Chains A and B, each alone.
Chain A
Amino acid sequence: MKRIFFAMTLAMAIIIMGLVGCEADPEAEPEPEPDAEEEVTEMTLATTTSTYDSGLLHEIIPDFEEEHNIEVDIISVGTGQAIETGERGDCDIILVHARELEEQFVEDGYGTERYDVMYNDFVIVGPEGDPGDVYDSADINEALNNIVEHTSAEDVPFLSRGDDSGTHTKEMNLWELAGYDQVTEKEWYDSMGQGMGDTLVATNERQGYALADRGTYLSMEDELPNLEIVFEEDEELANPYGIIPVNPDEHPHVNHEEAQLMVDFFTSEETQEKIGEFGIDEYGEPLFFPDA
Chain B
Amino acid sequence: MEEGIRESLRLLLEFDPYVYNIIGVSLRVAGLALLFSTLIGIPLGTILGLNNFRGKPVVTALLYTGMGFPPVVVGLFVFIIFSSVGPMGHLGWLYNVEAIITAQTIIAFPLIAGFTMAAVMQVDRNLLSQLMALGATKFQAAWAAIKEARVGVLVAIIAGFGGVISEVGAVMLVGGNIEGKTRVLTTAIVLETRKGNFGVAIAFGIILLAIAFLANLSMIYLQKKHLFEDNG
User: A residues touching B (Cβ–Cβ < 8 Å)?
Assistant: 77-78, 80-81, 83-85, 87, 162-164, 184, 190-194, 198, 202, 205-207, 226
Contact = CB atoms under 8 A, between A and B. Distances in A.
16 contacts: A77-B194, A78-B194, A80-B196, A81-B193, A81-B195, A85-B196, A87-B196, A162-B179, A162-B191, A192-B176, A192-B179, A193-B177, A193-B183, A194-B191, A206-B84, A207-B84
Contacts of B166: none
Contacts of B176: 190, 192, 194, 198, 202
A141 B181 CA distance: 28
Interface secondary structure of B, over-half rule: loop
Contacts, number: 59
A194 B95 contact: no
Contacts of B172: 194, 198
A192 B177 CA distance: 5
A127 B193 CA distance: 32
Contacts of B180: 191
B95 A81 contact: no
A192 B179 CA distance: 6
Contacts of A83: 196
B106 to A, nearest CB: 20
Interface centre among A77, A164, A205, A226 (most CB of B within 10 A): A205
Given A202-B95, A205-B84, A205-B94, A81 B178 contact: no
Interface of B: 83-84, 94-95, 172, 176-181, 183, 187-188, 191, 193-196
B137 to A, nearest CB: 46
Given A78-B194, A164-B195, A192 B178 contact: yes
**Across the A-B interface, the 9 shortest Cβ-Cβ residue pairs:** A84-B196, A191-B179, A193-B191, A164-B195, A193-B177, A190-B178, A81-B194, A80-B195, A202-B176
Nearest to A164: B195
Given A190-B176, A193-B179, 9 more contacts: A78-B194, A80-B196, A163-B191, A191-B179, A192-B176, A192-B178, A193-B178, A206-B95, A207-B84
